[in-house]
Structure 1
Amino acid sequence: MNLDEIRTHISSLDKELLTLLAKRKGLSLEVARSKLKNPRPIRDQEREQALLVELINVGRPLGLDAHYITQIYHTIIEDSVRSQQALLQDLLNPQDEVPAISVAFLGLRGSYSNMAARKYLSRFQATLVEHNCDSFQQIFDTVESGQAQYGILPIENTSSGAINDVFDLMQHTSLSIVGELTQPIEHCLLVAVDTEVSKLKTLYTHPQVYQQCSQYLKTLPNVTVEFCAASSNAMELVAKAQRDDIGAMGSADGGELHGLKPLVTGLANQKQNMTRFIVVARKPVEVAEQIPAKTSFIMSTGQQSGALVETLLVLRNHDIPMTKLESRPIIGNPWEEMFYVDVAANVNSAQMQAALVELKDIVRFIKILGCYPSAEVAPTHISAKALSQETALGQDTLASTKKAHQNKPALSPQETTPNSVLPLSLQVGRFNMSGQEPLLAALVNSWPETVSLQEMARHLKEHGGQVLALPCFGVGDHQHEQARLQQLREVAAQFDLAAMTWVHTPEQLKRAAESLDVLLLQPLAAGREALLMAAGRCTRPVLLPVSEIEEETLAAAELILAQGNQQVALLAGQERSLSQLLSLQKHSRLPLVSQLNGQDALLPELAGALQSAGVQGFALRFDESESLAPMQQLAQRVYQG
């Protein structure tokens, strides 16, 4: 086939795919209807995981890797879940068909609240009537008076925290929370005409945006910041002025609505910058029991010791997970607090009703703010164990491994006895290093040049690895190092891996902790104590290499723990005997990661012995051009025995 024929064939396949996807979506809605008579949860994540594993096993012989398959099906499954939830909610809360839906939000067209409103209400497939508001109070007033059916309000941000004004207003409103959504917030410096950052004299922004981008703004000491009621107001000012010495801070999508273009992107202090919005209306909604729900309420307790703890114990005793607890002062009652609580439960469920009965007996005030469908549709993750399905090894490899095993001295009984002291668990990214599923890390000696970083991450994921470590420091100027940190973080997230790098100084640790999931300490003799103390003050898990003298290792670990950070694991080289490792684990109660030689013919047997002794993680060191195949052998041994 020539190029045109190939493209025509691809277009034909794309149309077939769309037809099949539409049929699949129709069947998923039939599944939702079937659950009306037989109420079962919309999601069955065990079935989803089994489905993905089966699809991966079918796809691999076709040349489709696990990451490719899971990314496609995560999107399909998410759409299926949301469509089923919307259908059940519409059936439970029937509404008259209307040609238009009205919504009140903060700011003008293009504000973050406006973009959130459009996203949330797009499923109604009706004309959207927008009410621009100058304040949160005006949003409440507009909905309460009936001018708008819905109000969209930001409630918290991952960078700047709770938005207190909204919490305070919720205490006094008659409106109910009927929905929520989480929106990525990607702040940009927007301009109306071609210009340079050095020419800017004034930046217009909202106070929340200013707070979330404070670190970047410190690099612009000669720029004056002017505050606006909303990001969209800032955009409008810049769009009307058409000058090269002013700019606005906001989203690229919002700026496009005003004819602005981004001059600088990625300005937020916290790179994963998200805002949670709530949706309010005059009437509460019912949430179908098949759908994961949240209930929000406020309460005040007495001033006696343990009053708040007593209320939280009620939730625990009824197996109700709390997802948020926020306190605000009660105006007129000095030192008294109103507590805002979100729980993962349907207000109409038996357990929630029972909990409310108990709470009413022990609190001074309690008010339900709303029950609504949870916005989160978390992707179903495939465990490293499932991804490391055993493949046939060459006979020569099996024979050499067997021969090496026959020549290996037997381990002493002392070394093979499992550790009787239960080590602490450690959360590395989304992976829990608790021994149930050992953590596997690839320590790559140099930045990849002969292969792409994406290819390396993809192969690591395919072979059962969970952590990718690359050197990001000592490779050039500050800007180059920051680029590596960002690239490592993005690629690791793309392939559902945890990201790690080596840090030698407190300054490197601080920068790495802002981007990566776990930090590998490499203390230099001159600044050892300063680095250990900095590690103790950070909130990221740290990996501490084991020194030759056990007392030195224990003292270093204790120094970190004493500063507050309890997320410490020990990294031991292969030269350490099992008895030494057991002694370390016994005296520190810290998780232990063993660094092994990937070229060792006895790698699977050695890993099995270490795992039996209580080692909770393994690290293999690679050059960037080396095959990651030893990781697959290791994964097959520690996950499948």
Structure 2
Amino acid sequence: MGSYVKERNALDSIDHEILNLLARRSKVVGKIGTKKEKDGRPIKDCEREQTQLTALTAEAEKLGLSPYHVTRIYREILGYSVKQQETGVRLPSKKAKTRVAYLGIEGSNTHSAASRHYGAAASPIHLSGYVSFREVFEAVINGETDYGVVPIENTIAGSINEVYDLLSRYNLSIVGEEILSIEHCMLAVEEVALSDIRVVYSHPQALTQCADFFSGLTRCRIEARSDTATAAKLVSEKGDKTCVAIASEDAAAEYNLKVIRRHMSNQRRNYTRFIAIAREPAPYNGGLDYKTSMVFSLLHKTGSLEKCLRLLSEHNINMTKLESRPRPHMPWEYLFYLDVEGSVSGNGLKNALDAMWKHTSYLKVLGSYPVTRSGKGERVVPRIETGGDKTSDTTCPVIEKKPSKRVSREHREENTIVRVGGAVDIGRGFTIIAGPCAVESREQIHETASYIRQAGAHILRGGAYKPRSSPYSFQGLKEEGLTYLREAGEEAGLPTVTEVMEPSQVHLVAGGADMLQVGARNMQNFPLLSAVGEIDKPVLLKRGMMASIDELLLAAEYIVARGNRQVVLCERGIRTFETSTRNTLDLSAVVVLKERTHLPVIVDPSHALGVARWITPLAKAAMACGADGVMIEVHNAPEKALCDGKQSLTYVQFGELMQELTALAKGLGLEPAGREGKPV
């Protein structure tokens, strides 16, 4: 050992000198980045980088070094420089920590991806591991962390469906991606023969990617764990040589395990793509290449998908991925997940999405973000916001146009049909929505659902959350009521609609009802409108008591602009000087709305009148003036109702109303809307 001390000290000194030179280089890179940003120049200069690499390899040959290895080293250095300029890194940094959530524990592949992706951030990085994909998403939503990193697809096992479902459900944006070459290794506490292995631990994705190898092991069992590093930690803690983990070499070093076999994957070239998610979209930087991810559902019409893809081609947009997933709560309907080159900040993609909207029932941009590789393979990373002014357009889904553009007849001449619960099409025929103002008990809602189903109603209504003028009035059974409503609808075979009152309730209510109602008091609750616009569920939007038709259309535009075009408008009466009725039913609004918008329009005479005996004539008038349906309050004992009993029909009155509407429909040449898209 003593004979190497001098040489090793010399190597240590050289390594320190290299580090100091890299630090000096980093400062210069930062200055160049500042000038490029000021001058509006692209961050990447591929021609200069290639010239530089050519000169360096020639110099390497003169110095007796391998041009191949020098090129690899400098590609990493140049890649880091791009990261540094893009993130605005100025070393050393004294800013607050950037918090990043990832799946698993230290040593997992996602931990490696997060470390790599945010390694050149302007602020120190604090990484926090979580045990499930959902927990990572919720940590970002709740503000526990600034970003989250999760895997989304693998070249062997394919897409990670749970992550795609969470992207569709949560209002988060993809702000970056990272691609890692995955080498699965078999780890154990000591060398062990394959025939002696009894248990194999790993993440389900890793086990799938190594399935070919395990098909030959007949005497061991396979057990899934939350991530590969957790599996490695478990093997280390057990100390049993018959237990092995499939994980990375980093995990072996982290938990003091031996690598007893490498190259475990079914294919030698195994890559996983990870995405970074955040509460706000990534700011646009014109010096980088971008990718945009989106999710959409199609109108049930021949050629809808072909028309969408053709529009992308006509706008010179290159598609890099397309796949479908089952649409939640809508059997045999599907969501399409699409990746394309480019950013929504560019006019080409903006215009293509604007045109695609006509052929979709739901379209949500999941994010526009820098691609992992640009030009000849150098890696880039998105900017981390550290305060200051934002000069870029960061709102991915919104394509700014004139007011109420997307809900107007100018944008779409053909009437929109809104399918509820996969069973009822509002806008095709005349739809009857009926039920109590509020869900008061399990027995009450089940009995009412059964009766209105027999009488011919199409959708069951019932309030679980009740906004009341008086704080002392019945406020609804809330989650319990939502459960009762869902069970009653399922038992009667009716889709359900109920009111949602605030953004935090949206996902909860969407999980228990087929359609969400935005009440009159919330028509201009813009955060709520945006929240229901982010989900793939039909929305019943009621006109506010003091709202004009223009204001109603603009409220609908808020929802549609966020991607959800499954909107039904509801005229429920407005306040006037007249006191004979609770409100004044504005049937002229139906005629005006049918002329100005392609969205379906229904009428709620119950809330407009406040008097049960006047409901039938006004419901018939709604049908006669062209409404697409009515919403009627029905109660088994109106005199005992906890809210709005005076305007609720009895079972007998509702049955008589249905008979009169059926007769009128025949006279007008109409047919009531049917279940499963067929007339009753």
Please state which band the TM-score falls in when normalised by the shorter chain: 0.5 to 0.7
Q: Is the 8 A contact 2:104 2:227 kept in 1?
A: yes
The CA deviation string for residues 224-282 of structure 1, in whole angstroms up to 9 with x for no partner, is 21222322332233222211211111112123323322221111111121111111122
In structure 2, the residue corresponding to 1:299 is in which secondary structure?
strand
Return the offset for 1:59. Answer: 4.7
Q: Is the 8 A contact 1:48 1:380 kept in 2?
A: no
Return the offset for 1:288. Answer: 1.4
- Distance of aligned partners of 1:175 and 1:238 in 2 relative to their CA distance in 1, 3 Å threshold: same
Query: What is the distance in 2 between the residues matched to 1:205 and 1:72?
Result: 33
**Are positions 1:310 and 2:307 aligned together?**
yes
Aligned match of 1:300: 297
Query: What is the distance in 2 between the residues matched to 1:231 and 1:79?
Result: 27
Matches within 5 A, 1:570-609: none
Query: What is the distance in 1 between the residues matched to 2:19 and 2:229?
Result: 37
Amino acid at match of 1:27: V
Matches within 5 A, 1:201-216: 201-216=198-213
Out of 320, 332, 336, the residue aligned to residue 335 of structure 1 is: 332
Aligned match of 1:166: 163
**Are positions 1:288 and 2:289 aligned together?**
no
Out of 368, 371, 378, the residue aligned to residue 374 of structure 1 is: 371
Q: Whose Rg is larger?
A: 2
Out of 111, 130, 133, the residue aligned to residue 132 of structure 1 is: 130
The CA deviation string for residues 417-468 of structure 1, in whole angstroms up to 9 with x for no partner, is xxxxxxxxxxxxxxxxxxxxxxxxxxxxxxxxxxxxxxxxxxxxxxxxxxxx
Query: What is the distance in 2 between the residues matched to 1:294 and 1:361?
Result: 23
Aligned match of 1:41: 42
Aligned match of 1:84: 85
Out of 227, 250, 255, the residue aligned to residue 253 of structure 1 is: 250
Amino acid at match of 2:110: S
In structure 1, the residue corresponding to 2:245 is in which secondary structure?
strand
Amino acid at match of 1:48: E
In structure 1, the residue corresponding to 2:71 is in which secondary structure?
helix
In structure 2, the residue corresponding to 1:174 is in which secondary structure?
coil
Out of 184, 188, 199, the residue aligned to residue 187 of structure 1 is: 184
Amino acid at match of 2:128: E
- Distance of aligned partners of 1:242 and 1:11 in 2 relative to their CA distance in 1, 3 Å threshold: closer
Query: What is the distance in 1 between the residues matched to 2:231 and 2:180?
Result: 20
Matches within 5 A, 1:443-454: none
Query: What is the distance in 1 between the residues matched to 2:196 and 2:216?
Result: 14
TM-score (norm 1): 0.53
Query: What is the distance in 2 between the residues matched to 1:81 and 1:348?
Result: 21
Q: Is the 8 A contact 2:106 2:129 kept in 1?
A: no
Aligned match of 1:267: 264
In structure 2, the residue corresponding to 1:171 is in which secondary structure?
helix
Query: What is the distance in 2 between the residues matched to 1:286 and 1:158?
Result: 29
Q: Is the 8 A contact 2:95 2:124 kept in 1?
A: no
**Are positions 1:32 and 2:23 aligned together?**
no
Q: Is the 8 A contact 1:298 1:366 kept in 2?
A: yes
Query: What is the distance in 2 between the residues matched to 1:380 and 1:141?
Result: 33
- Distance of aligned partners of 1:366 and 1:13 in 2 relative to their CA distance in 1, 3 Å threshold: same
Q: Is the 8 A contact 1:328 1:339 kept in 2?
A: yes
Aligned match of 2:276: 279
Return the offset for 1:130. Answer: 1.6
- Distance of aligned partners of 1:11 and 1:119 in 2 relative to their CA distance in 1, 3 Å threshold: closer
Return the offset for 1:144. Answer: 1.8
**Are positions 1:120 and 2:124 aligned together?**
no
Query: What is the distance in 1 between the residues matched to 2:232 and 2:16?
Result: 40
Query: What is the distance in 2 between the residues matched to 1:81 and 1:208?
Result: 32
- Distance of aligned partners of 1:6 and 1:293 in 2 relative to their CA distance in 1, 3 Å threshold: same
Matches within 5 A, 1:18-29: 18-29=19-30
Q: Is the 8 A contact 1:74 1:379 kept in 2?
A: no
Q: Is the 8 A contact 1:315 1:321 kept in 2?
A: yes
**Are positions 1:141 and 2:142 aligned together?**
no
Return the offset for 1:367. Answer: 0.6
- Distance of aligned partners of 1:16 and 1:379 in 2 relative to their CA distance in 1, 3 Å threshold: farther
Return the offset for 1:54. Answer: 3.7
Query: What is the distance in 2 between the residues matched to 1:25 and 1:146?
Result: 31
Amino acid at match of 1:249: I
Query: What is the distance in 2 between the residues matched to 1:380 and 1:183?
Result: 13
Query: What is the distance in 1 between the residues matched to 2:254 and 2:13?
Result: 35
**Are positions 1:199 and 2:196 aligned together?**
yes
Amino acid at match of 1:52: L
User: After the TM superposition, which of the residue ranges 359-368 and 168-177 deviates more from structure 2?
Assistant: 359-368
Query: What is the distance in 2 between the residues matched to 1:129 and 1:48?
Result: 32
Q: Is the 8 A contact 1:303 1:336 kept in 2?
A: no
Return the offset for 1:366. Answer: 0.9
Aligned match of 1:549: none
User: After the TM superposition, which of the residue ranges 173-182 and 251-260 deviates more from structure 2?
Assistant: 251-260
Amino acid at match of 1:361: K
Query: Any stretches of 5+ residues in structure 2 without a counterpart?
Result: 379-680
Amino acid at match of 2:77: I
Query: What is the distance in 1 between the residues matched to 2:198 and 2:58?
Result: 58
Q: Is the 8 A contact 1:239 1:258 kept in 2?
A: yes
Return the offset for 1:22. Answer: 3.7
Matches within 5 A, 1:500-515: none
Amino acid at match of 1:297: M
Number of equivalent positions = 374
In structure 1, the residue corresponding to 2:344 is in which secondary structure?
coil
Query: What is the distance in 2 between the residues matched to 1:57 and 1:261?
Result: 41
In structure 2, the residue corresponding to 1:355 is in which secondary structure?
helix
Return the offset for 1:106. Answer: 2.8
The CA deviation string for residues 336-360 of structure 1, in whole angstroms up to 9 with x for no partner, is 3211112221221222222222222
- Distance of aligned partners of 1:156 and 1:12 in 2 relative to their CA distance in 1, 3 Å threshold: same
Return the offset for 1:285. Answer: 2.4
Q: Is the 8 A contact 1:45 1:380 kept in 2?
A: no
- Distance of aligned partners of 1:55 and 1:245 in 2 relative to their CA distance in 1, 3 Å threshold: closer
Query: What is the distance in 2 between the residues matched to 1:137 and 1:5?
Result: 54
In structure 2, the residue corresponding to 1:346 is in which secondary structure?
coil
Aligned match of 1:238: 235
Amino acid at match of 1:33: T
Amino acid at match of 2:286: E
In structure 2, the residue corresponding to 1:46 is in which secondary structure?
helix
**Are positions 1:358 and 2:355 aligned together?**
yes
Matches within 5 A, 1:147-162: 147-162=144-159
Out of 220, 223, 248, the residue aligned to residue 223 of structure 1 is: 220
Aligned match of 1:462: none
Give the CA RMSD over aligned residues. Answer: 3.1
User: After the TM superposition, which of the residue ranges 237-246 and 165-174 deviates more from structure 2?
Assistant: 237-246
Q: Is the 8 A contact 1:115 1:254 kept in 2?
A: no
In structure 1, the residue corresponding to 2:373 is in which secondary structure?
coil
In structure 2, the residue corresponding to 1:331 is in which secondary structure?
coil
Aligned match of 1:74: 75
- Distance of aligned partners of 1:69 and 1:201 in 2 relative to their CA distance in 1, 3 Å threshold: closer
Return the offset for 1:296. Answer: 1.3
Return the offset for 1:76. Answer: 2.4
Query: What is the distance in 1 between the residues matched to 2:110 and 2:299?
Result: 37
- Distance of aligned partners of 1:3 and 1:117 in 2 relative to their CA distance in 1, 3 Å threshold: closer
Q: Is the 8 A contact 2:186 2:259 kept in 1?
A: yes
Query: What is the distance in 2 between the residues matched to 1:142 and 1:351?
Result: 34
Return the offset for 1:123. Answer: 3.2
Q: Is the 8 A contact 1:131 1:148 kept in 2?
A: no
Query: What is the distance in 1 between the residues matched to 2:129 and 2:53?
Result: 44
Return the offset for 1:27. Answer: 2.8
Return the offset for 1:61. Answer: 4.7
**Are positions 1:107 and 2:108 aligned together?**
no
Return the offset for 1:51. Answer: 3.0
Amino acid at match of 2:130: N
